[in-house]
Amino acid sequence: MFKLKPHTVQKIKQACRILLWMSLFVFFVFAYVVGFKKEASQKCNHISVHIFPQDQKFVNKKQVLELLTKNVQKNRKIEGTAMARLNILKMEACLKQLPWVASAQVFASIDGKLTIEMQQRIPIVRVERYDGMQFYIDKYGVKFPLSDQYVHRVLFANGNIFERFEKEDTVYSFVGNELFKVATFVDNDPFLKALIEQIFVRAGNELVLIPKIGDFEIVLGSTEDMSDKFEKLKVFYKEALNRIGWDNYSTIDLRFKSQVVCKKIKA
């Protein structure tokens, strides 16, 4: 019986291994080329648009698609366009230009699906300047304009306010920061959020709160010791107003340490 020498067997094994790796390499190159050609020729056949939060309507799917079609596609429809010809980065940049959008991401898959995910800015206060100009401030202190299509019900601030408005600018003035602090505190407290409707800024930057229920005003003064002031207000509402009645006072003053000073309605 013929028997191969050990070194010959080793050479054959090495040759087989080399042949196997070459075969695998050729296979993966072939698969990549085929996949690349398929991806390059694959046309967009479906578009999914997800806009959060869903209960806000500053931006809608129709507006998004029209914007991308006009500014990125140069009036060519997205569906039916080869996926390789879609400029994903330019689409994201275009969507981020919308003042109501905090972030935008666009994903393309090799099966022809385009997915758009957008996060809208979440306003916590609507501000009206002394001259009547209005804008929103979001939970990060970023200012953005009102929309002709949608009005978001939120805390309203007006009066002696001179905060300028520029796109994506953050609050800068003393009063602007005071309003932002109050709005943030109220937005994070369910009781206060259900209670307070308006912040009015008097001369001297004094903050006055107008409740949704009751014909009186709540004098906050400033945001100094704000947590203690609001805690006093909660106790007063729960223990005093429910017992005495909501129609006996014209003013509830929170500016004084450890007490609530009330002014009765004149008979």
Q: What residue spans of the chain are helical by DSSP H?
A: 6-41, 61-71, 88-96, 174-187, 190-195, 226-235, 242-244
Confidence of residue 3 (pLDDT cuts 50, 70, 90): low
Domain ranges of the chain: 46-120, 123-264
Distances (CA, A) of 227 to 109, 189, 194, 234, 255: 50, 11, 17, 11, 12
Q: Which residues pair with 122 in a beta bridge?
A: none
Q: What is the pLDDT of residue 209?
A: 98
Which has more pLDDT, 250 or 141? Answer: 141
Q: How far is CA 80 from CA 12, 62, 116, in A?
A: 53, 17, 17
> In this structure, how many other beta carbons lie within 10 angstroms of the beta carbon of residue 36?
12
Torsion of CA 27, 29, 33, 38, to 10 degrees: 50
Say yes or no to pLDDT of 111 above 80.
yes
Give 46-120's CATH code, choosing from 3.10.20.310, 3.20.20.70, 3.40.50.720, 3.40.220.10: 3.10.20.310
**Structure-token pair, residue 219:** 């004098």
Residue 236: what pLDDT? 86
**What's the gap between Cα 186 and its chain centre?**
18
Which DSSP letter does residue 266 get?
Answer: P
Q: pLDDT tens for residues 130-188?
A: 999 999 999 999 999 999 999 999 999 999 999 999 877 999 999 999 999 999 999 99
| The pLDDT of residue 249 | 76
The residue whose two tokens read 């609050």 is 171
What is the β-pairing status of strands 101-108 and 46-52? unpaired
- pTM exceeding 0.85: no
Q: pLDDT tens-digit profile of 206-247?
A: 999 999 987 889 999 999 999 999 999 998 888 877 676 667
Question: Beta partners for 104?
Answer: 118
Give the burial string for 6-35 (b: 16+ CB within 10 Å, else e).
Answer: eeeeeeeeeeeeeeeeeeeeeeeeeeeeee
Q: How many angstroms separate the CA atoms of 121 and 255, rounded?
A: 33
Fold (topology level) of 123-264: Rossmann fold (3.40.50)
pLDDT for the residue 139: 95
Q: How confident is the model at residue 5 (pLDDT cuts 50, 70, 90)?
A: low
